[in-house]
Chain A
Amino acid sequence: MSVDAATVRRVAHLARIAVSDAEIAHLQGELNSILAFVEQLDEVDVSGIEPMTSVIPMSLKKRQDVVSDGNVQALVTANAPMREDGFFMVPKVVE
């Protein structure tokens, strides 16, 4: 499978990465080279094979469903590029 310029634009938008027109052709070439590299997996017969979900067989541990952390609002927002009154600030989302 290979990607065209429109697909590169669509994927960039899905990934929320701005891409200029000048970058498209180069990115398209690079993505296609990686996709060509992974194409060799088509040689492998995977019928009846379960996809791996955990490399180490283990059951997830459970804990009591209680509050174990919190009341650290100042720490949570300490690194925010824009904050006010303990909130993260973002551009207006709803008119």
Chain B
Amino acid sequence: MSDLTRLSIADLRAGYARKAFSATEVTKAYLAAMEKARALNAYVLETPEKALEMAAASDKRIATGTVGALEGVPLGIKDLFATNGTRTTACSNILGNFVPTYESTVSSQLWRDGGVMLGKLNNDEFAMGSSNETSAFGPVVNPWKVAGYNQQLVPGGSSGGSAAAISGFLAAGVTATDTGGSIRQPAAFTGTVGIKPTYGRCSRWGIVAFASSLDQAGPMARTVRDSAILLKSMAGHDPKDSTSVDLPVPDYEAALTGEAKGLVIGIPKEYRVDGMPAEIEALWQRGIEWLKAAGATIREISLPHTKYALPAYYIVAPAEASSNLARYDGVRYGLRVPGDDIVDMYEKTRAAGFGKEVRRRIMIGTYVLSAGYYDAYYVKAQKIRTLIKRDFDLAWEAGVDAILTPATPSAAFGIGAKVDADPVEMYLNDVFTVTVNMAGLPGIAVPAGLDGDGLPLGLQLIGKPFDEPTLFRTAGVIEQAAGHFPVKPWW
């Protein structure tokens, strides 16, 4: 029965329909796989009792024939999503043993549709990081390794636990969040599919906030079809999030037509950055050829403000984070370190509870918002955001349907390799993904090949607002041409 963890969500759906196995059997297979894979540190909390209880309920519904879209599908939940009665920490010491008394809207929709919760997944502390090394629970190990070498690699971040769980067959589907690339970069580093939907497509209610104008939830999965199935359940309007959009959720699976006839795919020349490895350039070229062969027209385009997206992001995101994270004060929840007076208590609590990267970002954010600097930094960065979005708008107006770029400037790197480097070096991981958050657009990362070391590389497709169907359709073409990249378990 160990093969059950190899099945896609679509396979599980078909298997349950013909009673080939039960949700309890599938869930047990995943729980056993999770136990064997603890060295990867993908899960920060396993919830086997809850999983078996939910699987038993699924089996009852399967027996009566009233099944939801994710009936009996074992899922991992990033620890940024509040789960009612189950510890939620954002992988920060400052939340300590916080046990929410409410459920995030996105996860509640997964349970509404019959999903089974396996546990909570590791991530960079408050989703601030690109390697999952800032987590208070320690780094996640990428299931991928360079053939013949023992060095452990990062799975990317911030959704590193999500990426390792999906690529290491430790969940059939996972939730993740993306503020500057936190779904797409780890997907690329682990040979999996990850989509950041349009801003407003998924409710942010009940998700620990990082930078509210950039944060979006999305799924990661092993196939494009599975990511389409998951997004359908996660998306939708929520009265509790005033930035969630009241638009019908399309049938994303129906978009998977296997061809790209009539589509105009833009290739932005500004994404050809200095020092980009030849392998990434070659991968991009292969992607272009695959889409051409599937009927798409390729057009070179210009997004002139691309290079300013990352520096503008490192003003906007820390500014919003410094404001959002003001709530961790040692009074209402989480850690508290006693002090001589209330300010001393705040300062000691926050110094002890936040990790290094989080403290650094709060301080940058506080500085750029402080008196006399607000216009020079924050307002200026928001103006640059307008220009970045305008670049994309001009491309759409000129008839471009989607934009193809590399997902990351490199394959996965070693754990610890960038720890002592300048923080900016780590930030450069998000150079291809961050523009999408700044403009609020949807973006999908899809595995497209292996590099010379045998590590996965991904391509990214960027779409028009709420045009996720075209992204699934186009990503499906790349997936068909490139094939799948299952990891060989060594753990």
Contact = CB atoms under 8 A, between A and B. Distances in A.
B424 A41 contact: no
Contact of A31 (B347, B360, B386, B439): B360
Given A17-B362, A80-B332, A34 B347 contact: no
Interface stretch (B109-117, B335-343, B475-483): B335-343
A25 interface: no
B341 A56 contact: no
A5 interface: no
A24 to B, nearest CB: 11
A16 B360 CA distance: 13
Nearest to B379: A51
A40 interface: yes
Contact of A50 (B359, B383, B438): B383
B383 A15 contact: no
Contact of B314 (A34, A82, A92): A34
A93 B331 CA distance: 13
A90 B438 CA distance: 39
A63 B345 contact: no
Contacts of A13: 347
A59 B330 CA distance: 36
Contacts of B348: 18
A11 B370 CA distance: 8
A52 B382 contact: yes
B334 interface: yes
Contact of B387 (A11, A49, A79): A49
Nearest to A63: B239
Contacts of A37: 311, 314, 424, 427
A70 interface: no
A83 to B, nearest CB: 9
B312 A34 contact: no
Given A14-B366, A51-B383, A56-B199, A80 B333 contact: yes
A66 interface: no
Nearest to A58: B245
A22 interface: no
Interface in B285-337: 305, 307-308, 311-312, 314-315, 322, 326, 329-336
Interface in B353-389: 354, 359-360, 362-367, 370, 373, 376-377, 379-387, 389
Contact of A34 (B364, B381, B440): B364
Looking at A18, A46, A61, A92, the one whose CB has the most chain B CB atoms below 10 A away is A18
B350 interface: yes
A3 B364 CA distance: 11
Contact of A16 (B239, B346, B383): B346
B152 interface: no
A15 B239 CA distance: 32
Contacts of A33: 422-424
Given A60-B242, A78-B101, A91-B345, A55 B213 contact: yes
A55 B305 contact: no
B384 A16 contact: no
Given A37-B314, A56-B440, A79-B333, A17 B347 contact: yes
B68 interface: no
Interface in A49-95: 49-56, 58, 60-61, 63, 72, 75, 77-82, 88, 90-93
B215 to A, nearest CB: 12
Contacts of A40: 307-308, 311
A5 to B, nearest CB: 13
Contacts of B365: 15
Nearest to B465: A56
Contact of B354 (A17, A54, A90): A17
Contacts of B307: 40
**6 shortest interchain CB distances as A-B pairs:** A55-B440, A51-B382, A79-B333, A81-B336, A18-B351, A18-B347
Interface of B: 96, 98-99, 101-102, 198-200, 213, 239, 242-243, 245-246, 305, 307-308, 311-312, 314-315, 322, 326, 329-336, 338-348, 350-351, 354, 359-360, 362-367, 370, 373, 376-377, 379-387, 389, 422-424, 427, 438-440, 465
27 contacts: A1-B376, A7-B367, A8-B363, A15-B362, A15-B365, A15-B366, A16-B347, A18-B344, A31-B367, A38-B377, A41-B380, A43-B308, A46-B384, A49-B383, A52-B382, A52-B383, A55-B438, A55-B440, A56-B200, A56-B440, A60-B242, A81-B334, A90-B342, A90-B345, A91-B339, A91-B340, A91-B342
